[in-house]
């Protein structure tokens, strides 16, 4: 009976949801352990694009899963769901598709992908939750609005695997915040700066060893990873550059704080 009711509600969404808010959010719901977009869902997505979106819009897709399986499996499943929906969107300025793993609570509600435009996502990102509920939106990590020309700021929430330039999945919110800022401030040019810890004060220019490539360029490679992420998600390469500083600028606060990536504003 729940399946019949859920199907009926879904079929009514195009008649009701589209008129509510031009930029979304809209949700696509999946069967348990599935990331297949059905024919009915494809029609729903097409109707959103025809009635509520423009090709100049930037689209954000956020995938989720319910909690019965293990967290690693659910993260991959949520990513597959986001990418399956992404395949239905062609020709937009920017399309961000990320999986966020499992949510606690109603299983049917949590097996979904949320679709929205940048302005709506930005509103959501600014929301500060007063509860610890995992279904609530997270508190904002970074505030880039006060950055001036010549200033540098650590991009908090960016995490790499030890000794590698691979970005961890728990960095997604910080990366999206950075994308929102750069998307909303299109005249800004900037540089991404990488730093490592644990260097020698008598040889601060010696970079960390990158276990993935076997090269001593860890700070440079990590900065380049952020650069590539931004380029892959629609930020013009002419606006940005990247550089590794090895151990030249330790914070004096300890290893944890020395391992960081910063943004430096070059012009506005």
Q: What is the CATH number of the domain that holds 86?
A: 3.30.1330.60
Exposed/middle/buried for 179, CB within 10 Å: 0-12, 13-18, 19+?
A: buried
Within a domain: 44: yes
Taking alpha carbons only, the member of 179, 191, 184 closest to residue 153 is 191
Taking alpha carbons only, the member of 62, 68, 225 closest to residue 138 is 62
Q: Is 262 found in the same domain as 161?
A: yes
Within a domain: 219: yes
Q: Is 111 found in the same domain as 55?
A: yes
* Domain around 198: 152-267
Q: How far apart are the first and last CA of the chain?
A: 57
Taking alpha carbons only, the member of 184, 182, 177, 160 closest to residue 261 is 160
All residues at 6 or more sequence positions from 129 whose CB lies less than 8 Å from its CB, including other chains = 136, 137, 138, 139
In tens digits, what is the pLDDT along the chain, a chain of 268 residues? 433 334 334 444 433 344 446 788 999 999 988 999 999 999 999 999 998 998 888 899 999 998 776 778 888 899 999 999 999 998 887 788 888 888 876 678 899 999 999 888 877 766 544 444 444 445 778 889 889 999 999 999 999 988 999 988 888 889 988 988 898 898 999 999 999 998 888 899 999 999 999 999 999 999 999 999 999 888 999 999 999 999 999 998 888 889 899 999 999 8
All residues at 6 or more sequence positions from 161 whose CB lies less than 8 Å from its CB, including other chains = 168
Q: Is 162 found in the same domain as 220?
A: yes
Within a domain: 12: yes
Q: Is 102 found in the same domain as 11?
A: yes
CA–CA distances in Å: residue 199 to residues 24, 236, 242, 246? 48, 33, 20, 8
CA–CA distances in Å: residue 195 to residues 7, 64, 71, 249? 51, 33, 31, 8
Residue the block writes with tokens 């990102």: 125
Q: Is 95 found in the same domain as 9?
A: yes
Q: Is 156 found in the same domain as 122?
A: no
Residue the block writes with tokens 């380049």: 224
Q: Is 159 found in the same domain as 119?
A: no
Using only C-alpha atoms, the chain has a radius of gyration, in whole angstroms, of 21
Can you read off the two tokens belonging to residue 126?
């600014």
């Amino acid at each position: 009976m729940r399946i019949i009711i859920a199907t009926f509600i879904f079929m009514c969404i195009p008649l009701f949801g589209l008129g509510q808010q031009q930029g979304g959010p809209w949700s696509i719901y999946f069967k348990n352990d599935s990331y297949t977009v059905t024919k009915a869902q494809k029609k729903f997505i097409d109707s959103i694009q025809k009635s509520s979106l423009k090709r100049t819009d930037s689209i954000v897709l956020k995938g989720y899963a319910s909690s019965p399986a293990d967290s690693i499996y659910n993260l991959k499943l949520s990513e597959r769901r986001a990418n399956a929906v992404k395949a239905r969107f062609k020709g937009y300025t920017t399309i961000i598709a990320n999986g966020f793993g499992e949510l606690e609570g109603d299983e049917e509600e949590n097996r979904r992908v949320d679709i929205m435009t940048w302005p709506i996502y930005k509103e959501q990102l600014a929301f500060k939750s007063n509860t610890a509920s995992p279904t609530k939106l997270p508190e904002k990590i970074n505030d880039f609005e006060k950055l001036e020309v010549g200033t540098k700021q650590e991009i908090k929430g960016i995490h790499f695997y030890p000794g590698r330039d691979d970005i961890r999945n728990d960095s997604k919110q910080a990366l999206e915040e950075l994308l929102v800022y750069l998307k909303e401030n299109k005249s800004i040019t900037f540089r991404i700066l990488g730093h490592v810890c644990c260097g020698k004060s008598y040889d601060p220019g010696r970079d960390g060893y990158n276990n993935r490539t076997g090269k001593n360029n860890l700070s440079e490679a990590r900065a380049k990873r952020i650069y590539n992420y931004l380029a892959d998600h629609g930020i013009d390469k002419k606006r940005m550059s990247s550089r590794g500083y090895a151990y030249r600028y330790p914070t004096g606060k300890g290893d944890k704080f020395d391992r960081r990536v910063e943004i430096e504003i070059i012009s506005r």
